[in-house]
Chain A
Amino acid sequence: MSVAMEPLRPLAMPLSGIRLIEASAGTGKTWTIAALYVRAVLGHGIPQPLLPPNILVVTFTEAATQELRERIRARLVDAARAFRAGQSQDPFLSELLADYPAASHAACARRVELAAQWMDEAAIFTIHGWSQRMLTQHAFGSGHAFVQTLEPDESELLAECVRDYWRQAFYPLDARQVAAVLAEWKTPDALIQTLRPLLFGGETTLRVNGEALDTTDVGALFASLRDWEDEDARRLAAAREAWMGDVERIEALLRDAVRSKALKNNIHQPASLERNLAGVRHWLESGEKGAVDVARYGSSRLEGAVSKGGARPEHPAFGAIGHWDEWQAGKPAIRFAILADAVERVRERFAAQKRRRAQIGFDDLLSRLDRALASESGGELAETIRRQYPLALIDEFQDTDPLQYRIFRAVYARNPDVGLLLIGDPKQAIYAFRGADIHTYLSARNEAEAPHYSLDTNHRSSEGMVAAVNTLFARAENHPGGAFHFAEQGLPFNRVQARGRTERFVVAGADQPALHLWLLDDEAPVGVRLYREQMAEACASEIVRLLEAAKDGRTGFAQDGVVTPLKPADIAVLVRSHNEASEIRSALSARRVRSVFLSDRDSVLESIEAHDVLLWLRAVAEPSSDTAMRAALATRTLLLGYAELERLNVDERHWERRGQELFDLRETWRRAGVLAMVHRFLHVFDLPARLLMQAGGERALTNLLHLAELLQQAASTIEGEQALIRYLADRIADSASHTGDDQVVRLESDDDLVKVVTIHKAKGLEYPLVFLPFVCASGGSRPGQGYRYHDGSGAQHELLSSGHEAAGESVRVAKEAAERATLQEDLRLLYVAMTRARHASWLGVAPVCYNAAKKPQLHRSAFGYLLSGGQEIENGAIEGLLRGLAQDEPAISVDYMPAPDERIHVAPVSDERPLPAREAHMAKADPWWIASYSALRYADSEATAPETATDDVIVEYAGETAVAPVEAATIHAFERGAEAGTFLHDLLEWIAEEGFAQIAADPARLRDTVARRCERRGWEASIDVLSEWLQVLLRTPLPLPEGGSLALGALDDPSRYRAELEFLFEARRVDTLALDRVVRAYTLDGAPRPILTADRVNGMLKGFIDLIVEHEGRWYVADYKSNWLGVDEQAYTPAAMRRSILDSRYELQYALYLLALHRQLRARLGDAYDYDTHIGGAVYIYLRGVDGNGHGVHVERPVRAMIDALDALFEGVPA
């Protein structure tokens, strides 16, 4: 470590160049990123302010991008508020404020607000998401196709490529070569298993015995194998011949040598001698070696078995066998040559196939961007990206790999005016299995500009917790490799400060130590299995003890004298494997503590529900199949019991009913899709309720719904029920080889549950209390296909041959290096695990051993390494080491593991009755609507106010039935009803527009129009009648309310009348009954008439007046009525019309019209206006009754008092 590390001050840290920020666990990394983001938005310390789309933030997972986005948005909002207020309690913000003159605060606030609003388009991505965007956005620069399908699951395509390779490479071989291949891999699938890690291991050098794996000529190799085999056969035949020629003597020799113990009897056991000799004889006779190891009788191996003082039995046959045995070592290994060949060719083919399908996988996104940046046009692409994102913050940088870092370096290195901030914690690099490479981080660290920055205050944990972790790791820092087992302090541990927490964890009111070290036993080693069992039990017992104690309200988290009781959800148990998880979960469930397991590898397709859903689908797809139905009804998930099956046998109607249900479900499937069908299925069988009553029912239900969604998704690309069933069956059968986030089992419940979490999954999360019961079980390194390690220059992968354990020095070196890497990662994993707790954590310590050793092998685990630095720990020495820790730090307590007990947890009964419904106190706005005369009359607020004058007429005559004329001789026989009414109104409107006097003087034009309009309706017969009648109407002098008369045809000045006048005036909470009372009192002598329905008009009153006429200084409201009152004009007597007016409440209409006119004139004439002077009254013209004798006209002029009363009423003045 050459570069100085200094505490990060968020305002002072430069935002250009390659900078490194190390953020230990819980030190507020996200907070810092948000703070730097605010600075970038403001342009603080950079040439110009940046907008969210121009600040690149890269993090590890999709979920993390969402969280970061929210956190940054919140921070921006805070900052905006601070700038608006001109002050802030937050030290960072107040310092930031101080850097800007008060005058610019408003501008800053605006800028930050805009950024906050723009966060939806902020450039916060996963590296894959970002690469994809770069490739498509800069398709010309990157040489990437515009449209590519991103295929997350490429296993099927890979399998195809391997099968193709198998056919191409192996089918042409002859029988002996094939036998050699089959000896290594029986099937293409076996070859895939071997190849997969080699193909997807990231940038790794494959090595065999230390040499980099290179492609060789496979053909030549097979030839040399053939030669070797021929020679092998020759030598074996010679040996057989030599032995066969002298069987008796050789057997005697061997029997003697064994009996006299000249040959060590532990190697050549007397008991098995005869069986071996029989085996050899069988070989001699048949040429088949069978199970017997002939080579043990080769001279050199006999030599090795000779006991002290004994003599080696001598015979040429032994020599011949030895001669053959020596030959074995030189067998050409075809395994690696084929692998090298296959890796290359499969990779090529895989890439070619993907190109052909325009398909890319996640890995390709990165490699293509990397290649694009390295290509000729790469410089321009890098320049474009730099312009787009002058500042990049790379989060979780410890989990990077060489490829990823190369991409960022290609864009940002050697460009001092742009910034690349690498933020991470090498102590938390735990994703080696996904290809993350801590060495990339370490080399990037060397390239980053000095100084490096670190966050040095833990904001997550209590002081005690921080102190305990500090002590544990700082002590281990004295080991030669440091706490993290890196040579030359490559990965140092630095103590962090604690900000502490405001609440304290208390049990029965008493403070607790932060770190509990539980020792299982110190006398003799314990097996892993026992360790797990015991610790799981103890841990579950302790959890029960704490939860039970929490019931009296004195165990939990104390703040300001108030204790918030401990809940199950406050507790997390961190594990490394499924086995550990199920161990602790069963211990918990035995004590009635409910728990939930969060893992990221369980596939829903491996669940029992998946199998059962498959049976359901089959039954629904084939509802007439009795077998399919029984299979479905018998599934465990459906939980119907055996009686159901018996009932199918004995109750035919029940059997039919079940069949019918399935038919219905199939209908649902076909109509609404599989998702709807599965949901329906669940409800038909009442499954949700029944499952939730079962233990594990939530899990089952969650899986079912998850499966339904997966099926629905699949169904969008698959045609037909059977195809979908087949798809599901395939996926279930093949779930192991598919990976994809979509099939990872979902969390079943948000309830108050103890969380069992894998450490990997817990990274970045925090829990109040954390149990680490299995911390001493080391992961151990399994060779599997070989050893992975890092030699300082790059990742290496030493391959192992299938059978030969014996290998050279380089394999040993590789093994050691791989084991070291595993331990290093285990240490980091332990660090992550230990830094999850806010208040307290419990560690299960035991002298764990594997394969029945006499000494504990604790030192191989990460925790053991912290204690001893990799030195073996003697029996009985653990306690001393632990006590040593506790001596230094009071927050650590050391104890023997408390004995597990059987107490069970009784969950407090929660009172879940609903509270009384809240009452609304909201001020209720008066309903506001536009009313009309029709709406009032029909007491029907549904009847909306008319939009046009025609609507108004239609509403009015809606009740009058349309009657076709008997004979068309007179107007009385003319059509009735709304259509006739609007027809007449339209004609009269047209006449008014054209000018009453003009039309009256031009009968031909009138007739022409009437004719055309009648023809349109098929009323040709009425043309003459109507034309003549209209002329009469125009000519006839109409009586006026207070004497005098007026013929419409005499209206020669269009400026003195107005047709179809629309009015709209305000109605303030008008009570219709009050309105009714006023109108009733002042019109038609108070005669009885229908009463209006009680209502309230608040809003506007709207209407259309047919005609307003000014005549001799007075204004009249005229309205045409096409009502049919009788067979001739004699029927239109004043009395009849009066009755019609009353029945229809037309007097209400003209009262309102007069009010409208009144208000209009008052507004226009001003003070000069006087009701009595200017208002002439209402003239209602019953069109059909008009004749020369004054028939057909109803007139009235209500007294001024009515208008005044109405005016006041509509003003909202109480009557």
Chain B
Amino acid sequence: MGAFAAPVRVDIEAVASAVYGRFVTERRAWPHDAGKREVRIEVDGITVEDWLADLRADDDGRLAAFLLSPSNVLDADGTPRAHRLVMPWVDHLVAQAAGLAVTTRYIGPDATVVLTPLAADDAMAMLATLVRAWRDGMATPRPVAVKTALAWLRAPSPEEAPRAARATYEATHERAHGELDDDPYLLRAFPRFASLLEAGFAECLAPYRDFLGALRVEVS
């Protein structure tokens, strides 16, 4: 590959050292190894059981969970790539509901995206909403897609929300790629944004609203 390897290597190194730099800083702020905690909660008739491992703690005993990202966690315009945090959000929520005020810290080369601690009651309510949505989704295709939902909620004004969501969901021009195109499930169930909307997209946004509410970005 000759010289073609060099720029690739430079890129990889730059990212690795940036992530590492941020990680070292974070560790300094959360110096203590807090081990693992067992969580066990009942929500809406469902029992959730698991271990939260590799927790960190600061000098005041507050807990944090670290996640690392090898690529940027912010888009070019500075908004966090929130869709990547949807799965950690569930862990985060369960931890809060179980009474562990954990801060989830998603560390990338460019920034750290933080999920802040919540009151246990609030978390429990949010979790219940999520579980109901999950139950629905197991019974019938749920008319919602992560990026599209986030685009809707982040639109500068409610009037612009449908357009922003549509542009995320389906290709607006010939060479564009929508969320739809990468997901056979969506393609099958809701082949157009209109069908998604018609099936009740707007009513499925509550869990995403909760999620965005807990999201913070720390750049430096």
Contact = CB atoms under 8 A, between A and B. Distances in A.
Interface stretch (B1-9, B52-60, B204-212): B1-9
Contacts of A636: 187-188, 191
Interface string B180-202: 00001001100100000000000
A608 B191 CA distance: 10
A174 B3 contact: yes
B3 A175 contact: yes
Contact of B7 (A182, A608, A634, A635): A182
Interface centre among B3, B6, B141, B188 (most CB of A within 10 A): B3
A238 to B, nearest CB: 25
Interface in B98-142: 140-141
Given A642-B140, A642-B141, A178 B188 contact: no
B4 A178 contact: yes
Contacts of A178: 2-4, 6-7
A605 to B, nearest CB: 15
Interface centre among B6, B187, B188, B191 (most CB of A within 10 A): B188
Contacts of B2: 170-173, 178
Contacts of B7: 175, 178-179, 182
A611 B186 CA distance: 14
Contacts of B141: 642
Contacts of A631: 184
Contacts of A642: 140-141
Interface in B1-31: 1-4, 6-7
A642 B3 CA distance: 53
A172 B140 CA distance: 57
A178 B5 CA distance: 10
A564 B136 CA distance: 57
A642 B187 CA distance: 14
B188 A634 contact: yes
A177 interface: yes
Interface string A586-630: 000000000000000000000010010000000000000000000
Binding site secondary structure of chain B: helix
Contact of A170 (B4, B6, B187, B188): B4
Contacts of A175: 3, 6-7
B198 to A, nearest CB: 16
A171 B3 CA distance: 7
Interface in A163-184: 170-175, 177-179, 182
A642 B6 CA distance: 51
A821 B6 CA distance: 46
A636 B191 CA distance: 10
Given A171-B1, A642-B140, A642-B141, A635 B6 contact: no
Interface centre among B4, B140, B184 (most CB of A within 10 A): B4
A178 B4 CA distance: 6
Contacts of A177: 3
A634 B188 CA distance: 8
Contacts of B4: 170-171, 178, 182
Interface centre among B6, B140, B141 (most CB of A within 10 A): B6
A173 B3 CA distance: 6
Contacts of A608: 187, 191
A330 B2 CA distance: 28
A178 B3 CA distance: 6
A611 B191 CA distance: 14
A636 B184 CA distance: 10
B188 A635 contact: yes
A223 to B, nearest CB: 16
A624 B7 CA distance: 46
A864 B2 CA distance: 56
Nearest to B141: A642
Interface string A164-207: 00000011111101110010000000000000000000000000
Contacts of B140: 642
B125 to A, nearest CB: 30
Contacts of A179: 7
A627 B148 CA distance: 27
B146 to A, nearest CB: 20
Contacts of B3: 171, 173-175, 177-178
Contacts of A611: 184, 187
Contacts of A170: 2, 4
Nearest to A166: B4
Interface in A621-673: 631, 634-636, 642
B163 to A, nearest CB: 14
Nearest to B3: A178
Nearest to A636: B188
B53 to A, nearest CB: 31
Nearest to B185: A634
A634 B185 CA distance: 9
A468 B184 CA distance: 52
A636 B187 CA distance: 8
A608 B2 CA distance: 41
Contacts of B6: 175, 178
Contacts of A173: 2-3
A22 B12 CA distance: 65
A435 B6 CA distance: 42
Contacts of A174: 3
A416 to B, nearest CB: 53
B111 to A, nearest CB: 15
B185 to A, nearest CB: 8
B190 to A, nearest CB: 11
A172 B2 CA distance: 6
A611 B3 CA distance: 39
Contacts of A634: 188
Contacts of A171: 1-4
Nearest to B2: A171
B196 to A, nearest CB: 15
A631 B141 CA distance: 15
Interface in B28-68: none
Interface in A881-903: none
B4 to A, nearest CB: 6
B58 to A, nearest CB: 30
Contacts of B191: 608, 636
B171 to A, nearest CB: 12
A178 B10 CA distance: 13
A642 B188 CA distance: 11
Contacts of B184: 611, 631
A631 B185 CA distance: 10
A1116 to B, nearest CB: 93
A169 to B, nearest CB: 11
A174 B7 CA distance: 11
A671 B31 CA distance: 68
A918 B107 CA distance: 83
A642 B1 CA distance: 50
B220 to A, nearest CB: 13
B144 to A, nearest CB: 16
Contacts of A172: 2
Nearest to A634: B188
Nearest to A176: B3
Nearest to B174: A578
A382 to B, nearest CB: 46
Interface centre among A175, A177, A179 (most CB of B within 10 A): A175
A642 B141 CA distance: 9
B197 to A, nearest CB: 17
A642 B185 CA distance: 12
Given A611-B187, A642-B141, 6 more contacts: A170-B4, A171-B3, A175-B6, A608-B191, A631-B184, A636-B187
Interface of A: 170-175, 177-179, 182, 608, 611, 631, 634-636, 642
User: Which 4 A-B residue pairs are closest in the complex by CB-CB distance?
Assistant: A178-B3, A171-B2, A175-B6, A175-B3
21 contacts: A170-B2, A170-B4, A171-B1, A171-B2, A171-B4, A173-B3, A175-B3, A175-B6, A175-B7, A177-B3, A178-B3, A178-B4, A178-B6, A179-B7, A182-B4, A608-B187, A608-B191, A634-B188, A636-B188, A636-B191, A642-B140
